[in-house]
Chains A and B, each alone.
Chain A
Amino acid sequence: MKLSDTLEYITVSFTADRFKTFMSSLGIIIGVLSIVVMLSMGEGLYSGVFGEFQGMNLDVINVVPGTWSQDENGPPNFRSTEEPAKLSDKDVDALKGVAGVKSAAPRTSAQVVISSRGRNASATVNGISPEEELELKGKVEEGRFLTDSDYRAVVIGKGVAEDLFRMKVSPGNKLRLYYDDRSMDFKVVGVQGDEAEISIARYDPNMEIYVTHDAMKDLLGRESYNYQQIEVTVDDPTQAETVAARIREALKRYHKDEAFSAVTSRSMLQSLESILAMIKYVLGGIAAVSLVVGGIGISNVMMLTVKERIKEIGVMKAIGATRRDIQRQYLLEAAMLGMTSSLIGIALGAGISVVIGKLAGLPSLVTWQSVAVGLLFGTLATTIAGVYPASRAAKLDPIEALRAE
């Protein structure tokens, strides 16, 4: 019997009993669906998250007040009742003294209202030490970057310049910043170039504005001013963890009963990675279990089908079908059942991935790879499930089969 004829013959059985066919495929559909969702989300998260991290310098060390729970490199800090450390110029100076540290850039940010030509909008203002912000400094597109001696000068992100107000804000324009009941006038000295948005953190660098710490202190009120974060760069990126450990030692002196953390971006990325991996394993487990359950379901249904068609199999054999003809027919029937279920699973999985991606604001990529893997595993599971029923059918004795009712 030719393959094309076997396939044509099989299609008859599909159209004949759609409901049974569909019910029996449910397990496979779910299995393939979770494979596709798993791979799509995984792919989306990886390419999305890590794509965004790619442009970043992973070897910076962030010194922040408080305990960062996933700080794997230090001993777990159980004194969680500790006050968060107040970071100041003392810390910056100490950091600069630590071996291997290239720069230490203190930052403090706040949400402010800015107004331009009588119109208001909200933005994040960052107090910075201009000479330490080498990376930001390199990204000026128009005008100039801040200098340490600037006071009422502001550098704005491209989004603030172009999208926040009806009219473009350019170097030379005036901006007024409001914080609580205080307000200060600034002159725009520079506009930053376009930067990629980090969507998972909902952080758009184009909507930031920068002033010097001197100005920031006055805007926020000098009494309570301290740094929210000190970003440290290192001479040798491979030594980032060692330097972070040294930093913890060095700053301990100033913050005996206060909590602070020094975390490399890489270690943050690693813990993110392990979360992603866990999601992947869970989905992979669901996929594997449903494929096995689905396979058993298909196997049962195929056994029933063989039983139902026992007479037909007898007839086929009587008029000259070989074992191989029968075996192939039922194996292909299982495989086709698997393939259709897999395609349904892929379609549903792709849909779900897109919806989840939209809801969670995560990038979700349905790749050809995930479609291929879903199709492969779905079809493989059903084909394996079909082996036993098919060989049972092939081994039937024609006379006994013909006698069956």
Chain B
Amino acid sequence: MAKSAGPGGEDGLNAAQTADDVVVLEKIEKSFRVGESWVSVLKGIDLAIARGEFVALMGPSGSGKSTLMNIVGCLDKPTSGRYLLLGRDVSSLSEDELARVRRKELGFIFQTFNLIGRVSVLKNVEMPMVLCEMPKDQRRARALELLENVGLAHRVDYSPINLSGGERQRVAIARALANDPDIIIADEPTGNLDLKSSDEVMRIMNHLNQEGRTIIMVTHNPEITEHCSRVIRLRDGKIVEDAP
């Protein structure tokens, strides 16, 4: 557990944290209200992820992997605990401040791709840059370049609806890279893909990691973890294993 912050005392919260840690979670808890009662899903997560790591997050269904990813991805806030993203405490940021963090610092890849079907592939990839108000020709050039990098230069004017699953996920990767984020959050990116597409996506992910990007990825497939520098296992809302 070299990199995870131990349950160190109140005085030593940053003890295990190094300057190069991009994600630091301290005593993160998350509960959901279900009817009259509260269900505790994350039960004290302490975790530090250094720049350039390729982390696989595994665990049985319902163990809280997606819940954890949503918090790391700034889509959700922990019920308690502290979260430092790139050295900045984001646990107390407002919803719109979190949105700005998401668009600049994080790239998301989802199991179900989550592309916008009403607009073209190119526009999908441009969207995060549109949100950042990047000039038009600049963002178009970048979107074209990113699509070329994932081998989809010939599909820019397609609607995502007319693409195969593998192609869609590659568009999603291009979109995730639009604002050149340091951290990629991927929740079962190959979960809906066949073997060939899955390999293709993992090849790209690997390449991104080699470029120096930190990747945190949920997966159920043990074979895939061979690309990863670190495997974290979650069970019932707790980290039960953290190994290279």
A positions within 8 Å CB-CB of B: 1-2, 5, 9, 12-13, 16, 311-312, 314-325, 398-399, 402
The one of B96, B127, B133, B179 in contact with A316, judged by C-beta atoms closer than 8 angstroms, is B127
A320 touches B128 (CB 8 A): yes
B96 touches A1 (CB 8 A): no
B positions within 8 Å CB-CB of A: 70, 73, 75-76, 95-96, 99-100, 102-104, 108, 110, 114-119, 127-128, 130-133, 175, 179
CB distance from B115 to the nearest CB of A (A): 8
Specify which chain B residues have a CB less than 8 angstroms from the CB of A402 in the assembled complex: 110, 114
The one of B96, B115, B132, B179 in contact with A323, judged by C-beta atoms closer than 8 angstroms, is B96
Q: With A9-B119, A311-B114, A399-B76 given, is the CB distance from A2 to B133 under 8 Å?
A: yes
Closest A residue to B110 by beta carbon equals A402
The one of B96, B102, B117, B118 in contact with A319, judged by C-beta atoms closer than 8 angstroms, is B102
CB distance from A2 to the nearest CB of B (A): 5
Closest A residue to B105 by beta carbon equals A320
Interchain CA distance A324-B103 in the complex, whole Å: 14
Specify which chain A residues have a CB less than 8 angstroms from the CB of B99 in the assembled complex: 317, 320-323
Interchain CA distance A318-B107 in the complex, whole Å: 9
B118 touches A12 (CB 8 A): yes
Closest A residue to B132 by beta carbon equals A320
Q: Which of A1, A5, A13, A402 has the most CB of B within 10 A?
A: A5
7 contacts between A and B (CB under 8 A): A2-B130, A315-B114, A315-B116, A317-B99, A319-B102, A320-B179, A321-B131
Interchain CA distance A319-B75 in the complex, whole Å: 10
Specify which chain B residues have a CB less than 8 angstroms from the CB of A317 in the assembled complex: 99
Interchain CA distance A318-B99 in the complex, whole Å: 7
Interchain CA distance A16-B96 in the complex, whole Å: 29
B127 touches A319 (CB 8 A): yes
Specify which chain A residues have a CB less than 8 angstroms from the CB of B132 in the assembled complex: 320
Instruction: Identify the 8 closest CB pairs spanning chains A and B, nearest first.
Output: A320-B103, A322-B96, A322-B99, A320-B102, A315-B114, A5-B130, A319-B128, A320-B131
A399 touches B96 (CB 8 A): no
Specify which chain B residues have a CB less than 8 angstroms from the CB of A320 in the assembled complex: 99-100, 102-104, 128, 131-132, 179
The one of A12, A13, A319 in contact with B108, judged by C-beta atoms closer than 8 angstroms, is A319
Specify which chain A residues have a CB less than 8 angstroms from the CB of B100 in the assembled complex: 320, 322
Specify which chain A residues have a CB less than 8 angstroms from the CB of B179 in the assembled complex: 320
Closest A residue to B116 by beta carbon equals A312
Interchain CA distance A316-B126 in the complex, whole Å: 12
